[in-house]
Structure 1
């Protein structure tokens, strides 16, 4: 039998994201955040391309992005409720990390595999924060898919996109667990 890290397994079997709207200060300091980003950077990365990067968004940057949401929402024809919800994602946050999908040209590694790596980085950052005792949530929303928002608000290059905004902070209330997948219903066993 292989060596077992029971504490890590127990964490993964019980992990639960914390709703971003329940997170407040204090937030991880820069040294703590660098440790969390280092853990996230150990995600699977076929070809060692690092097809992702981080933008750490502190409170003033989040407020600036929140102020951009109504303009972009109106230009896209978003309804007022969706605009308000998207703006609150930025206005109410104290710290978030934008995980930027930044694909690299490669004759061997298709872009879809690079995108999977960026998704793995999001989950690894989320889990590293939770394992460290911080509250964390992975969000996206329509602004993360709006090219003008990404260019004007975050300075992304044309080939770049957002894999996720990872919100970090201090948990103010523990959320109840939610229903989980029925593993038997979604698993096929193939023996031959």
Structure 2
């Protein structure tokens, strides 16, 4: 897929089935994530891959956090099942450090770029993906269960797999004039 077409036709795919990217396809996705802008070469990200039983463990971590938070049984069950909506879930973590020239926000944005790069690299190879978020990204118990250190922050959950249904038509182009102003 041509680079510009890939960007202009970017879409999220929430209905994903096996197979997940693996082998060279998965390595391409990881290399795309590692190639994002990274001021100072700090490598301020980590990727936790959850597949097979790892998705079950992630679901249990999320469900336990929801239970501790006082969520209802439906919300708890929904979070327990959430990682099963794709054959591979990548937890994208910002590993920002205090740096005199590179603010934490810039490092977190780099991790966000990594999440988008993963989704784009998956789409370029015929796979689908969706970047999911939610309160669980900020839950300290989820962070602890995933082994995150102080200062590390989940920036998203990238669900990857094979699209269950074909994407219907191109994305609707937005009027860029509504989002642009000149100084």
Displacement of 1:119: 0.7
Displacement of 1:15: 1.5
Residue in structure 2 matching 1:15, options 10, 17, 36: 10
Aligned residue pairs total 182
Structure 1 residues 110-119 or 90-99, which shifts more?
90-99
Displacement of 1:50: 0.8
Contact 1:86 1:143 in 2 (8 A): no
Match of 1:3 in 2: none
> Match of 1:189, SS?
coil
Contact 2:20 2:160 in 1 (8 A): yes
Match of 1:172 in 2: 164
Match of 1:103 in 2: 96
The CA deviation string for residues 6-33 of structure 1, in whole angstroms up to 9 with x for no partner, is 92112211121111xx101011113321
Structure 1, gaps ≥5 residues long: 1-5
TM, length-normalised to structure 2: 0.90
Q: Does 1:35 align with 2:65?
A: no
Displacement of 1:83: 2.7
Match of 1:83 in 2: 76
Query: What aligned pairs does 1:114-129 form with structure 2 within 5 A after superposition?
Result: 114-129=107-122
CA–CA distance in structure 2, aligned partners of residues 82 and 166 of structure 1? 20
Larger Rg: 1
Structure 1 residues 75-84 or 163-172, which shifts more?
75-84
Structure 2, gaps ≥5 residues long: none
RMSD: 1.9
Contact 1:122 1:164 in 2 (8 A): yes
Displacement of 1:84: 3.2
TM, length-normalised to structure 1: 0.86
The CA deviation string for residues 22-49 of structure 1, in whole angstroms up to 9 with x for no partner, is 1010111133211210011110111111
Contact 1:23 1:169 in 2 (8 A): yes
The CA deviation string for residues 141-173 of structure 1, in whole angstroms up to 9 with x for no partner, is 222221101211x11112211111111111110
CA–CA distance in structure 2, aligned partners of residues 128 and 114 of structure 1? 21
Match of 1:131 in 2: 124
